[in-house]
Amino acid sequence: MNDAPGTPDSIGPADPVGPTSPTSPVGPTGRGRADRLTTRRAATPDHRATAVRAGTGRYEHEPSVPTGRSVATPSTGAGPGRTRGRARSYAVLGGGPAGLEAARALAALGHRVDLFEARDELGGQFRLARQVPGKEDFGAAVRSRAARLDHLGVRVHLGRRLGLGDVALLRRFDGAVLATGVQPRLPDIPGWPLLHTLTYPEAFAQPQTLGERVVLLGSGGIALDLAHLLTGHSGLVATGQRLAARGPREGAPPPAPPGRRPHRLTLVRRGPRAGAVPGAVSGAGTPWTVPARLRACGVETVTGVSYREITREGVVVRAADGAERLIPADSVVFATGQESERAAEPALRAAGIPYATVGGARDADGLTAARATGEARRAAHRLGA
50 plus 118 within the same structural domain: yes
160 plus 252 within the same structural domain: no
27 within a domain of the structure (yes/no): no
32 within a domain of the structure (yes/no): no
49 plus 163 within the same structural domain: yes
pLDDT tens sequence across 88-112: 999 999 999 999 999 999 999 999 9
Phi, psi of 202 (to 5 degrees): -65, -40
Q: How many domains does the chain have?
A: 2
> In angstroms, rounded to a whole number, what is the distance separating the alpha carbons of residues 362 and 339?
10
Residue 381 pLDDT greater than 80, yes or no: yes
Domain span including residue 162: 39-183+339-384
Total-model pTM: 0.72
pLDDT tens sequence across 317-345: 999 999 999 999 999 999 998 999 999 99
172 plus 228 within the same structural domain: no
- pLDDT at residue 231, rounded to an integer: 86
User: Pick the residue with more confidence: 111 or 72?
Assistant: 111
pLDDT tens sequence across 217-275: 986 788 888 988 888 765 544 333 433 343 433 344 444 455 555 789 999 988 776 55
Proportion of the chain above pLDDT 70, given as a percent: 65
> In angstroms, rounded to a whole number, what is the distance separating the alpha carbons of residues 115 and 145?
13
2 within a domain of the structure (yes/no): no
252 plus 277 within the same structural domain: yes
90 within a domain of the structure (yes/no): yes
244 within a domain of the structure (yes/no): yes
- pLDDT at residue 279, rounded to an integer: 36
Dihedral of CA atoms 278, 97, 122, 341 in degrees, nearest 10, equals -90
218 plus 170 within the same structural domain: no
